Amino acid sequence: LNNFGIDIWSNNNFIIEEGELKLNYKNKPSLISLVNSIRKKDYKGPLLFRFPHLIEKQIDRLYDTYTKAIKEYSYKGSFNAVFPLKVNQYPTFVKPLIKAGEKHKYGLEAGSKAELFIAMTYNKNAPITVNGFKDKEMIHLGFIAKKMGHNITLIIEGLNELETIIDVTKETKLQPPNIGVRVRLFNSGSGAWAKSGGIDSKFGLSSTEILEAYDQLEKNDLCEYLTMIHFHIGSSMNSIKPLKNALKESGHIYAELKNLGATNLSAINIGGGLAVEYSQFNRTINYSLHEFASDVIFTLKNIAKQKGVEEPNIFTESGRFISASSAVLIAPVLELFSAEYEAAHLRLKKKNPPLIEELNELYKDMKKKNALEYMHDSIDHLDSLLKLFDLGYIDLEDRSNAEILANLIIKKAISFLEVDDYEELKRIDNKIQEKYLLNFSIFQSLPDFWGIKQEFPIMPITHLDKKPTRSASIWDITCDSDGEIEFDPNKPLYLHDVNLDEEEYFIGFFQVGAYQDVLGMKHNLFSHPTEVNVLFNENDEVELEHIIESQKIIDILEDIDYDTDEIKAILNEKLDKDIYNILEKYLYDNSYLKTTWS
Ligand code: PLP
């Protein structure tokens, strides 16, 4: 049976039992039970489940692994980590994250003024680092955060930022926060997001600029505030080699600065980069967390020894690793496109074109032993019949009969092949794909699929005790042909042949907790899905924290600056009161498909 690669990507977070996908935690609720309890309350669109215990699991794994490696190598520096808010700023994610990280003093990284406000407000006794380009106001905010008592480090991306820090120190007489220097490394990363590192990167200071920065700090009596060297070679590194090179480069820069007299320089911040597995077909990451942590400690220890300086404290800013697994999107299947091809819709005539007669015979006479042959014949016949229609030799009824019969034959053949000729089924996938229409927006919920064809694990959450037999392409409900996950014969997705009139079918998209929430866009005005945090009470039972419904249509319109009173007034004027009242109810629904009205 197909397990959809959960042994590759799920890190034991999910298990398949009794045909259902279950959370491998506490009383092991099935995902379908969570879906049903929310849909009962009339939320019918896509659902985003957040699992705070999975955030905690990743934070604990990170700290435990580094703590072990530090012990193993008798390393003198400490381990510290911050969560880069750019990866997920949603309060429903950030608040549980802060709670889960408290015991480790897990901090936050901000890359903009808005993110810095979040960090200043919610961070508790843990470090804050600030990256990204900064104006005077943002630097001033850093000073204010320091005055509030935060342990904050402003990491400068260029010399102008250091000049502004010096100006703000003079103008405000406030004590400056710690200062970090982002270095522009010669060594860049690997993987889809490698551009943030390397000599051509838009971020960081060159060696000449670092020396210049140090001179400036000395001249202005601010050397004591220089505490951190920072680099980030790119998100989701699938190979560890570039990290090792970057560690050597930054480790030597750290040691050189220390030897120049930067006595309070005590930390190297290695940015993010820890990858997560998105593939359900084969492993794509060539290292383990343990190997990653050991390499960091071992390399920095050696450099410190070689240059006779103290071993630096380590900071990491991995966000994808912490957050990706914590959210799962579940979308209902609205339609299987072949479902319209039912025998009841056939309009066979007394006398049909010969190829139609033949299709009909194939359908009636098909047995297990000839299933494959008949299916191939039917696909050929359908091709010929469609050509005959284009040439004007058969009519619309004939064409409809041809489409229905060919699809019925394919379905019947698959039901025979299901048992033991799966390989053959695979071979002919391309010709017999089923299109699954799902109630969600790829642009809103999987923007990285749309933008950079990032793979996400996809699987049904029920029917897992049955062999999926339909090679599937997934369509969303936007009016855009890019809203499709095409069938890829090299990474084939098989789903079940279900009769949606009799049963519901839901598809889960996994590892969507990193970047997808905030990068999602309102194409066609589909907004963020309805979401809920899944918690557990003291009896280990599920407790769904309050549900945040997908935005109402009226709010979506207001967000893009429509005057919603004007909209209501115009519609009201043009309609009878009764009809207007119904319309107003629709205006206060969310925009995903619903149809509970029969
Ligand atoms: N730190 C910085 C400076 C970044 O630019 C990023 C993202 O690119 C991260 C941390 C997060 O890295 P990751 O996505 O690998 O967790």
Q: Is the CB of 271 under 6 A from ligand 1?
A: yes
CB 147 within 8 A of CB 174: yes
**Can you tell me which atom of ligand 1 is nearest the CA of 272?**
12
In 3D space, the residue among 86, 87, 137, 143 whose CA is nearest the CA of residue 120 turns out to be 143
Q: How does residue 120 score in pLDDT terms, banded at 50, 70 and 90?
A: very high
Render pLDDT for 232-260 as a digit per residue (tens, 0 to 9). Answer: 988 889 889 899 999 999 999 999 999 99
CA of 233 to the centre of ligand 1 (A): 8
**Can you tell me which atom of ligand 1 is nearest the CA of 317?**
10
Q: Is the CB of 232 under 6 A from ligand 1?
A: yes
* Element at 415 (helix H, strand E): helix 396-417
Q: Which of 85, 87, 181, 511 to mutate to test the pocket of ligand 1 (most atoms within 8 A of CB)?
A: 87
pLDDT at position 188, please? 58
Mean pLDDT of 104-122: 98
Q: Is the CB of 316 under 6 A from ligand 1?
A: no
Here the ipTM equals 0.99
CA of 64 to the centre of ligand 1 (A): 21
Q: Which of 55, 155, 318 to mutate to test the pocket of ligand 1 (most atoms within 8 A of CB)?
A: 318
**Can you tell me which atom of ligand 1 is nearest the CA of 182?**
3
Range of 199-213, 305-319, 362-376 with top mean pLDDT = 305-319
CA of 133 to the centre of ligand 1 (A): 15
From residue 420, how far is each of 417, 490, 580, 597 by CA, in Å? 6, 21, 58, 43
Q: Is the CB of 319 under 6 A from ligand 1?
A: yes
**Domains of the chain: residue spans and CATH:** 52-318 (3.20.20.10), 346-416 (1.20.58.930), 553-587 (no CATH)
Q: Please give the backbone phi and psi of residue 142, each rounded to the nearest 5 degrees, phi first.
A: -60, -40
CA of 112 to the centre of ligand 1 (A): 14
**Can you tell me which atom of ligand 1 is nearest the CA of 234?**
8
CB 164 within 8 A of CB 222: no
CA of 115 to the centre of ligand 1 (A): 14
Q: Is the CB of 318 under 6 A from ligand 1?
A: yes
Percent of the chain with pLDDT over 90: 83
Q: Is the CB of 197 under 6 A from ligand 1?
A: no
In 3D space, the residue among 47, 39, 34, 88 whose CA is nearest the CA of residue 440 turns out to be 47
CA of 191 to the centre of ligand 1 (A): 13
Categorise residue 436: left if φ over 0, alpha if ψ from -120 to 50, beta otherwise: beta
Rounded to a whole number of angstroms, the distance between the first and last alpha carbons of the chain is: 38
Query: What is the gyration radius of the CA atoms in the chain, in angstroms?
Result: 29
CA of 534 to the centre of ligand 1 (A): 26
Q: How does residue 226 score in pLDDT terms, banded at 50, 70 and 90?
A: very high
Render pLDDT for 27-79 as a digit per residue (tens, 0 to 9). Answer: 999 999 999 999 999 898 999 999 999 999 999 999 999 999 999 999 999 99
Q: Is the CB of 129 under 6 A from ligand 1?
A: no
CA of 516 to the centre of ligand 1 (A): 14
Question: Within 13 Å, how many C-alpha atoms sit on residue 439's CB side?
Answer: 24
Q: Is the CB of 273 under 6 A from ligand 1?
A: yes
Render pLDDT for 324-350 as a digit per residue (tens, 0 to 9). Answer: 999 999 999 999 988 788 899 999 999
